[in-house]
Amino acid sequence: MISLFQSAQALRWFTCLAIFATLVPTQAQDRDEYEQAQAIAKRKRAGEELSSADAALMGKYVERGWISDMDPKRTTTGLVPLTEMSAADVYKGEDGGLYGQGRNDPDARHQMIIDNALTKIVPRDPDGESSHSGKVVMISVGMSNTSREFGPFIQAANADRRKSPELVIVNCAQGSRAALQWVEMEDVWQGLKTNLTRNQVTTNQVQVAWVKLTEMAPSKYGAFPKHAEFFKGNLIKIIQRLKATCPNLGIIYFSSRVYAGYAVGDRSLNPEPYAYEGAFAMRWLIQDQLKGDRDLNYDATKGPVKAPLLLWGPYLWCDGMKPRSDGLIWPPEYLDFDGVHPSDAGKAKITELLIDFFATNPNAKPWFTGNSR
């Protein structure tokens, strides 16, 4: 007789396989054909006119959400960066500012909470105990974009004189692993632990995380706010598991997606306006935590701790070639052939934004540099 537990485990296993099958081609679906479609997309990006057969083959995989088509002429959407919206500005019922009410910085009450959290980020030994010879570990959590961007950031940070010698930065983001996959697939968590081991640190030493996630082909979850609510629900599960896996994780810094207006088609990996709207899911989490949501509790005096403190990291979205107030633009050459993944130039720009934030922002600088505010 098969027990109910075994049946549930089997169902979960088959569900994970089904999800994975939607991410990459299997042998039966012909990996060679998929790679051919990618090559065609690259040729199109280079300006080559495609034959009808090539266009059809590429379209097959665009429709499945495995690759994205790109139109470099789609340089703006007319959307306004969240950081540029005031309290009076409204987007589908949402006001402006990273923290709401037109504010891009925490208010006084929130800042007191942050200051307290920062004092707890100290070098720790492998068992998680405070130690002068210990380490502060920062990790990334995300998908292929996050992984590709965080690698160059690690190289730049390690070469930056401002970085604390006690700080160890580990890339735990993984390709083809968006938010739903971090919830459903066990391999991402094993990968996280494996990457820490390779860097000779432990889960007990992880105290900071940069989380940059999204959902693949989010249109299937419905128009805003439905897809953002689905994303938010997955983020809660990820945050809780991160805290359970890394018990000394003190702060998560969020970044949402970059401009995705060049990506064509509603079935694309993460086109507009979904890339833009994903930021609201992250903001809702920060706001809910401050309101005392028990699923996001960070304060042991208020009950079981289920989450670290949630903050904004660098906000990366701008409206394509329309300059943000700080001058940021996102030209087509910052993206790869698919209009979704960063090119070398895009990775360099994000590295610059990450370094600037973590080395200078008063809510990150103390642990990044090892110095006081």
Distance CA 317, CA 329 (A): 9
309: helix, coil or strand? strand
CA 94 to chain centre: 21
Distance CA 329, CA 331 (A): 6
Contact 110, 99 (CB under 8 A): yes
- The fold for domain 82-369 equals Rossmann fold (3.40.50)
Distance CA 231, CA 228 (A): 5
Distance CA 335, CA 47 (A): 15
Share of the chain above pLDDT 90, in %: 76
Contact 294, 236 (CB under 8 A): no
99: helix, coil or strand? coil
Interacting residues of 190 by C-beta distance below 8 A, sequence separation 6+: none
Whole-model pTM: value is 0.87
Kindly report, residue by residue over 211-258, the tens digit of the pLDDT: 999 999 899 999 999 999 999 999 999 999 999 999 999 999 999 999
Distance CA 186, CA 181 (A): 9
Lookup: tokens for 273: 């306006």
Taking alpha carbons only, the member of 2, 44, 5, 65 closest to residue 216 is: 65
Omega before 273 cis (within 30°)?
Answer: yes
Distance CA 349, CA 347 (A): 5
287: helix, coil or strand? helix
Kindly report, residue by residue over 348-366, the tens digit of the pLDDT: 999 999 999 999 999 999 9
Residue extents of the structural domains in the chain: 4-67, 82-369
Neighbours of 109 (CB within 10 A): 9
pLDDT (tens place) for every residue of the chain, 373 residues total? 444 444 444 444 444 434 434 444 544 457 788 788 888 888 887 778 889 998 888 878 777 666 767 888 999 999 999 999 999 999 999 999 999 999 999 999 999 999 999 999 999 999 999 999 999 999 999 999 999 999 999 999 999 999 999 999 999 999 989 999 999 999 999 999 999 999 999 999 999 999 999 999 899 999 999 999 999 999 999 999 999 999 999 999 999 999 999 987 665 678 999 999 999 999 999 999 999 999 999 999 999 999 999 999 999 999 999 999 999 999 999 998 888 889 999 999 999 999 999 999 999 999 999 986 5
Interacting residues of 32 by C-beta distance below 8 A, sequence separation 6+: none
